[in-house]
């Protein structure tokens, strides 16, 4: 079974119609997020599929999309009232 890695997907889309489409695509893959930044647990193949779906929706001349793989071996740091995850091995999808 392929191993999943935690990724952040962030975007800045100029057109409201494309923004709605990008949000729809990203939410299909994400486990959480806020506004234009989402957390996604992806295999290499899933990441490639997400990149293809996003490329089909955005306008490369006007829009920006950033897909970053995070290092889950490092300790989680939180700021303000945020609480660190209780069980980092568990991800709720629903």
Residue 25 domain boundaries? 5-69
Q: Mean pLDDT for the chain? A: 86
Check: CB of residue 29 under 8 Å from CB of residue 42: yes
Q: Are strands 64-69 and 32-34 parallel, antiparallel or unpaired?
A: unpaired
pLDDT for residue 84 is more than 80:
no
Q: Residue 88's pLDDT band (boundaries 50, 70, 90)?
A: low
pLDDT recorded at residue 90 = 56
**Residue stretches of the annotated binding site for Mg(2+):** 12
pLDDT in tens, 39-59: 999 999 999 999 999 999 999
**Residue stretches of the annotated binding site:** 12
| CATH assignment of the domain containing 9 | 3.30.70.240
pTM above 0.85, yes or no: no
Give which of 24, 31, 36, 35 is closest to 7, Cα–Cα: 31
Total domains present in the chain: 1
Give domain status of residue 15, yes or no.
Answer: yes
pLDDT recorded at residue 94 = 45
pLDDT in tens, 13-24: 999 999 999 999
Give domain status of residue 80, yes or no.
Answer: no
């Amino acid at each position: 079974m392929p191993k999943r890695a935690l990724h952040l997907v962030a975007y800045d889309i100029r057109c409201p119609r494309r923004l709605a489409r990008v949000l729809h695509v990203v939410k299909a893959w994400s486990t959480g997020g806020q506004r234009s930044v989402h957390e996604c647990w992806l295999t290499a193949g899933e990441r490639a599929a997400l990149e293809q779906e996003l490329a089909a929706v955005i306008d490369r001349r006007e829009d920006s999309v950033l897909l970053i793989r995070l290092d889950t071996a490092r300790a989680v740091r939180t700021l303000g009232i945020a609480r660190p995850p209780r069980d980092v091995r568990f991800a709720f999808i629903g």
